[in-house]
Amino acid sequence: MNVTSYSIAWSPYLIFGDCLDDTGMRCESSGALLDLARAVASRLNMTISSFKDPDDDWGLFPRVALLHFILILAHLLHFAHYYRMEIPTPAATGSG
């Protein structure tokens, strides 16, 4: 079985170097995490292939951040309006 990962460099855990092209498929890879993964894989009769992500993107931020922000804001406003609770005042309760 072959386990394949696509990642960006995270020194000293994963290091890419000497890339022959921009696809990230033909790079030398090394690092502490990759060494550990390869040691475990050899005991489990697997191979590990790690490729550099061509976009250098961790995937933490949406590609359309402004649209994403607006959608979240719209949902929050809808939630606040829908679940709005009236706070009783002394005049409304007849006390005071």
The pTM assigned to this predicted structure is 0.53
Whether 64 is covered by a domain: the verdict is: no
Whether 48 is covered by a domain: the verdict is: yes
Mean pLDDT of 77-89: 66
Whether 44 is covered by a domain: the verdict is: yes
Whether 21 is covered by a domain: the verdict is: yes
Whether 40 is covered by a domain: the verdict is: yes
Note down the domain range covering 40: 2-52
Residue 57 tokens, joined: 């993107």
Residue 7 has pLDDT above 60, yes or no: yes
pLDDT attached to residue 83:
66
Specify the pairing of strand 47-52 against strand 2-7.
parallel
Residue 92 has pLDDT above 60, yes or no: no
Whether 65 is covered by a domain: the verdict is: no
Give 38-55 pLDDT, tens digit per residue.
999 999 999 988 888 888
Give how many domains the chain has, as a whole number: 1
Alpha-carbon separation of residue 87 from 80, 90, 91 (angstroms): 14, 10, 11
Select the more confidently predicted residue: 96 or 9: 9
Whether 46 is covered by a domain: the verdict is: yes
pLDDT attached to residue 88:
62
Residue 7 tokens, joined: 């990642």
Whether 96 is covered by a domain: the verdict is: no
